[in-house]
Amino acid sequence: MLREGQGLNDPNKVRTLVNQALPTWQWTRDELGVEWNMDHLVQEGGHSVPRCAITGNGSGSAIVTKQIAKCKELGIPLRTRVFMETIIRDTDGRVKGLKVREGYKFRDNTSGRVKYIRAKKGVILCYGGFGADVAYRMHQDPKLTDKFQTTNQPGATSEGWREANRIGCQIIQADWIQCGPWNSPDVKGMGIALYFAQSAAAMFGIWVNCATGKRFVDELANRKVRADAVINAANKGQLCIAVANKEGIEMMQQIHHNILAKQLERGVVYEFPTLKAMAEKFHIPEAALQKTVDEYNAGLKAGKDPLNRYINKDCKPMVNGPWYCSKLSPKVHHCMGGILTDMKGRALDCTNDKPIPGLFAAGEATGGVHGAVRLGSCAVLDCLVNGRICSMEVMG
């Protein structure tokens, strides 16, 4: 994390995150009842080896549904359609509560019934990123115009960020915004093509520039390196695709069960009987593509990848069809910056760098954990570890 964060992340926060990874995973299993795939570890972008645990259904929903169930079991009410309009900070500097709108209609910030909620012990801000707010993200990075889609849900907007700023929170590194390199232009939002591009092609196949028929990036490099490579090709009018054959598909489906049928049905993954047919479809120089595959296979045999990619022990030479591919088009995915907090999760004041009494923050709303690049799988860990730290601090 420190290497890929390029010196922008707080070493103490990184150390806390990694030291709490195992006990937090055990907590999700033993206390929440989350089911995990115990047969496979995944290698997400930027990791040097496969080390990422994956849930039984291959999705973060397996964690969230168990959290919701636990809240119901404990009698904790979850309020939906509630818009946080104002964080109430008193003249003594302490955050005393919130002004909200219940029955809020999305995008109409004047809708709903105004209500005031007093915070007896504290307020924890976990409002996520602003990937769906084009205007606000362009304030931070003018390159991220509306030509870039986002993987985020429509509510990933900037109201929480602006309000935290207004009451004096120290905001850092907000211009470090990550694009997911494995997304497809064939679907709006996150979609399911990424599971092929990452779990089949990046780990057990190759990524290819259609104009040259060659690989153009280490498929397991961090997300910024890969997204920048795809974007640079797109700026030249070149399409890039993720490629795997049946062996890669088999590995993907051990993690994401029976997903290929859905990918094919939705038209986000393409199937071909031969490599030649794929080359014809996407106007790829056939000889160059075949040479690229041959060089990749030779690298597997020699134990040395031509682009120095980590070679998974389950990788097999790509020889026989059917062959599969998905188009690549990076989308805005994660905001690495946010509220600066101390090691107890307390939000710091921009005027004196001291904790704002009664205010805490965790997850994508904060900065300093990931630095320049967030590694795959570490966002969920960030939310769980630092969310628990904040909660235990608030409850005493």
Q: Are 218 and 225 in contact (CB under 8 A)?
A: yes
Beta strands 355-361 and 123-125: pairing type? parallel
Helix ranges (DSSP H) in the chain:
11-19, 21-27, 61-74, 134-140, 159-166, 193-196, 203-204, 223-235, 246-255, 259-265, 275-281, 286-302, 378-395
Q: Are 281 and 270 in contact (CB under 8 A)?
A: yes
Taken in order 59, 65, 71, 73, is the CA torsion positive or negative? negative
Closest CA to 310 of 390, 221, 210: 221
C-alpha to C-alpha distance for 187 and 226, rounded to whole angstroms: 20
Known catalytic residue at 223? yes
For residue 348, what is the enclosing H or E element? strand 346-348
Which of 223, 226, 309, 374 is the catalytic position? 223
Q: For 331, phi and psi rounded to 5 degrees?
A: -130, 150
Q: Which two tokens stand for residue 31?
A: 């206390």
Closest CA to 203 of 181, 183, 218: 218
Residue with tokens 């990791």: 47
* Radius of gyration in angstroms for the set of CA atoms belonging to the chain, rounded to a whole number: 22
* Active-site residue list: 223
